Amino acid sequence: MLDLKTLKFGDELLKRGFAKMTKGGVIMDVTTAEQAKIAEKSGAVAVMALERVPADIRKEGGVARMADPLKIKEILDSVSIPVMAKVRIGHLSEAYVLESLGVDMLDESEVLTPADPFYHINKKLYKVPVVCGARTFPEAVRRIFEGAAMIRTKGEAGTGNIVEAMRHIRAVEDGIYILRDLTNDELYKVAENISKTYISLRDITSGELLGNENKLPYDNVYYDMDYKTINDNIFRVLKEIKRMRRLPLVNFAAGGVATPSDAALMMKMGMDGVFVGSGIFKSKNPEKMARAVVEATENYEDYKSIADVSSGLEGMEGLEMENIEKLQDRGN
């Protein structure tokens, strides 16, 4: 027998395993228990609890934090499907609070106002799995190294515009493709480049204190780890990606999915499932939209059926990328 209980990756197996159970499904943003029930009834595979949907955060501005624990408790009590919740990038304490509430998965999300300008949470410290957004291949690799159990595109939340999600899918795919023919030496060089964000603060400090000629050592740059340890770990992640020819964990699309066809496009691009934020509850008929998006995700190549479920649906209003604040640029 393969004894998994005593293996140290047991926790990882449970976290990544949980993410796998959401494959082929739609995870919907909800702000109230009422919305959560509608989402469950319409076929959501999980709900994402947050204070305001991205379109409102964009419109109203201000600091966006994790949702009120009271709201989260109400949502937890109202549905039988998993409940996820958004935590600010780098906000270790919000993450622990959400974990203590019994939330099934955390989303360390750029949609909320970042708490730490330098680092993401070390997700290995938590018993609950964490999903993170990524715009590029290096971002995805860094999040996996930090212990994310699932990756999603960042896209551009609250815009109803799919172009950024597409950009991020293409960018990550291209990174995976490039790894194909690299030797181990080249792969290690890639690892060193990807790890550079973890030493950027030390370089600033170094420059301020010693000038740019003399560098401070790169010990203890991220959660007690030195640069070399980070490189080695990232190298391991890269080797796994190279072997599997895909990210080694569940990969969803998010940020701008507004119609059933958008969801179908994301699946066609090879995504494991979709997050829909403002797209559901900012549409004219949320329940109908939710059902239609679920249907299109499930049968993403059944174009006749997608045409049927899309008929007469009035989606949310969309935004062009120029002249808006790009939430995706938060965290790297």
Partner 1 sequence: MNIGILNIQGDVSEHYDFIKKLGKKYGVSPLLVKNNNDLNNVSGLIIPGGESTVIYNILVKNNMYDNIINLNKNGLYIMGTCAGAIILSEDTSDIRVKGMGLIDIKIKRNAYGRQINSFIENIYIKHIGNFSAVFIRAPEIEEYKNSELLSEYNNKPVFVRNKNVLALTFHPELTGDSSIHEYFIKNILENEAGSNHAQQ
* Contacts to partner 1 by CB under 8 A: 1-5, 10, 13-14, 17-18, 20-25, 40, 43-46, 76, 80-82, 99, 102-105, 127-129, 294, 298
- Which CB sits closer to partner 1, 40 or 139? 40
273: enclosing H helix or E strand = strand 273-276
**Strand-pair partners of 49:** 30, 85
Both tokens assigned to 267: 């699946």
- Which CB sits closer to partner 1, 75 or 234? 75
Do residues 327 and 158 lie in contact, with contact meaning Cβ atoms separated by under 8 Å?
yes
- Which CB sits closer to partner 1, 94 or 99? 99
3-class DSSP state for residue 127?
A: coil
- Which CB sits closer to partner 1, 127 or 304? 127
Question: 158: how many CB neighbours lie within 10 A of its CB?
Answer: 26
| Rounded Cα gap, residues 48 and 88, in angstroms | 14
Instruction: Name the minimum Å distance from CB 236 to partner 1.
Output: 18
47: enclosing H helix or E strand = strand 46-49
Instruction: Name the minimum Å distance from CB 118 to partner 1.
Output: 28
Instruction: Name the minimum Å distance from CB 86 to partner 1.
Output: 16
Residue 84 is which amino acid?
M
Instruction: Name the minimum Å distance from CB 289 to partner 1.
Output: 16
| Rounded Cα gap, residues 144 and 212, in angstroms | 31
User: Could you say which of 71, 86, 154, 282 is catalytic?
Assistant: 86
86 an active-site residue? yes
| Rounded Cα gap, residues 201 and 86, in angstroms | 26
Q: Catalytic residue numbers?
A: 86
